[in-house]
Amino acid sequence: KMRIAVLTSGGDSAGMNAVVRSIVKSAILKGCETYVVREGYEGLVRGNSEAVSSVPTSSNAKEHHRSESPLASGDADSFVHNLRFGDGELLRDGTGDHPGGRSLKGRYIVRVGWDDVRGWFSQGGTLIGTARSVVFRTYEGRLTAASNLIKEGIDAIAVCGGDGSLTGADVFRAEWPKLVAELATQGRITPEQAKAHAHLRIVGLVGSIDNDMSMTDLTIGAPTALHRICEAIDNIDSTAFSHSRAFVLEVMGRHCGWLALLAGVSGGADFIFIPERPPEADSWEDEMCKMIQRHREIGKRKTIVIVAEGAHDKHLNPIRAEYVKDVLTERLGLDTRVTTLGHTQRGGRPCAYDRLLPTLQGVEAVEALLEATPDTPSYMIGVAENKITRVPLMDAVRMTNEVTQAIKDKDFDKAMSLRDPEFRE
């Protein structure tokens, strides 16, 4: 019976809980045992070593849970008949509301069952926690992570995160045989364990509000963040209209302009700054003011400018919302305010598509893990023209890095065409 663990890593995004739910449920239906790793890669490195003594006995009796669970003794079908019963530990964690509750203190790799993830698709953020782990970037950290996985008998992991998190997953997998050999030499695992865990299966799902991953049309959480920005624009619109003001909105996205661009189109912005396509003119200030002046002359009472947090001019000098405000105030005499939307874009309930997409992708992720062989690459689950896809993870990461490099090289046409192969000047 394959043991699959799922973790979320990097910045949280709406839909991550739906990923966990979908993977847990699909894996159970395929007869697998399911685990979550709390706090991303950090939890993988911490493992369950501090466990038992600090945990109330009612919740730490892992073996007891296993033996009484319908999954432990029966097959997937018998489990399906017992869907009412939680098989895992999250529901029994003592706090009753959050998987990071006190009885799981010191335990990061946790057995979960059907009921543990019930209703998770409507929750924002990630209930199993996330982190940007520094220690997992070190070889020693990955060695300990491997040892923790093997101790729990886990054969496969599904990682939901951005490009950095998925790169980490692929490095881990490539290194796995070396890690296992070293653990066996050090006596941290038995030769039998080394043999049983000769290969690690890994699959990536892209959870990021930035929609910055190549080879997939959408990342999980991006539609919700976009929706949030549109709502903010609508709210700002009415006050801007009332006072006939200008507003400069700074939105997230790191090196990617997707959120800014699509929010600008969906919300009717007057001017948009994105990293991939800086203004053409030597003086973007003139270009922007000319455009906004024209809009005002044809009767617009309000002005909305959207600045992606990674925006810059064509010489790569950052374009900051505060500076844009000063330009609008001084050159056009507009009463201007800045609104930085910040983390309101990232948190909160997922929109419908950020429930649907992770649900479908979770099913595909489990299939990919079950079908993986030592010779197949690690896959990233994507979506292209509304179809769920499987693409080699490293190809997607490489292409994503190429975009960032093209921006750094000021090759903006290349950046645009890598983001969108249909892009034409």
| 3-state DSSP assignment of residue 116 | helix
Query: Is residue 346 within the footprint of ligand F6P (CB under 6 A)?
Result: yes
CA distance 82 to 96: 21
Q: Give residues 238-257 in contact with ligand F6P (rule: CB under 6 A).
A: 252-254
* Shortest separation between residue 166's beta carbon and ligand F6P, angstroms: 13
* Shortest separation between residue 384's beta carbon and ligand F6P, angstroms: 22
Torsion of CA 144, 131, 402, 388, to 10 degrees: 100
Query: Is residue 204 within the footprint of ligand F6P (CB under 6 A)?
Result: no
Least Cα distance to 16 among 121, 131, 113, 155 occurs for 121
CA distance 162 to 171: 14
Query: Is residue 15 within the footprint of ligand F6P (CB under 6 A)?
Result: no
Q: Give residues 142-201 in contact with ligand F6P (rule: CB under 6 A).
A: 162
Q: How many helices and strands (H and E) does the chain possess?
A: 16, 12
CA distance 14 to 5: 20
Query: Is residue 279 within the footprint of ligand F6P (CB under 6 A)?
Result: no
Please classify residue 351 by burial: count the beta carbons closer than 10 Å to its beta carbon, then call 0-12 exposed, 13-18 middle and 19+ buried: middle
Q: Give residues 285-344 in contact with ligand F6P (rule: CB under 6 A).
A: 309
Query: Is residue 124 within the footprint of ligand F6P (CB under 6 A)?
Result: no
Least Cα distance to 79 among 139, 143, 27 occurs for 27
Query: Is residue 20 within the footprint of ligand F6P (CB under 6 A)?
Result: no
Give the nearer residue to ligand F6P in terms of CB position, either 203 or 259. Answer: 259
Q: Is 254 known to sit in a ligand binding site?
A: yes
CA distance 26 to 369: 11
Q: Is 162 known to sit in a ligand binding site?
A: yes
**Of the candidate residues 34, 123, 208, 219, the single one contacting ligand F6P (CB under 6 A):** 208
Give the nearer residue to ligand F6P in terms of CB position, either 123 or 208. Answer: 208
Chain residues that interact with ligand F6P, rule: CB under 6 A:
11, 162, 208-210, 252-254, 309, 346
The binding site consists of 11, 132-133, 162-165, 208-210, 245, 252-254, 309, 337, 343-346
